[in-house]
Amino acid sequence: MTVALFDVVEVIAEMALGASRVLNVYHLTNVGDPIAEDEALTDVAEVLDGFYALVSPVLSSGLTFVSVLAKNLTGATDLGSTAWPTMTVGGSAGGGVLPFQNSGLITFPTETPKVRGRKFLPGLTEDAIASGLLTSTVTDALLDMGIAMLNNVAAASTTWRYAVKHAGSLGILYPTAALVQNVVCTLGRRKPGVGE
């Protein structure tokens, strides 16, 4: 089986903080060459690894990177799981770890009104906050990740693009911007083992 041009791969970034799992879900479109499924799994892990490397310095060193899981949604095939290529633990941010529901947030508006992607980044620490707001170091790191996600990313075997999967009939949309605020965001429905 192959992952063809314009196939959409759902990728789960699996991390852990203490005894709890943290999952974030991404959708990547193959905008390059058709590749074998094992190559696609390696590629999407490389892409996520690059995204998280941009924010790792503001994450707690207690956050561990467990695995990357992927599924070809277009071809309805499970690509399996693999270890993160380089990420093993979070960064060197000091202070106690903030509760899971307190995260940095990157939003991705699309050309369709009221449809946007959201990526909540848990693992921030008390040092991420000054006077009740996220520090510029944290917001800069979140924005760096967001901007990287707007571009086509060349991996070992093909090129990928982050997409927003819309639950309705619109299907896959591509973001037009990456926005970051300096407030700690709360995802009320975040539960262990559930990604956004």
Residue 192, pLDDT score: 41
Listed in sequence order, the residues at least 6 apart from 115 whose beta carbon sits closer than 8 Å to its beta carbon are 164, 166, 170, 173
Q: What is the pLDDT along the chain (196 residues), one digit of tens a residue?
A: 899 999 999 999 999 988 888 899 999 999 999 999 999 999 999 999 999 999 999 999 989 999 999 999 999 999 999 999 999 998 888 889 988 788 999 999 999 888 899 999 989 999 999 999 999 999 999 999 999 999 999 999 999 999 999 876 568 999 999 999 999 998 655 444 333 3
From CA 75, how far away is CA 4, in angstroms rounded? 9
Residue 19, pLDDT score: 84
Residue 170, pLDDT score: 61
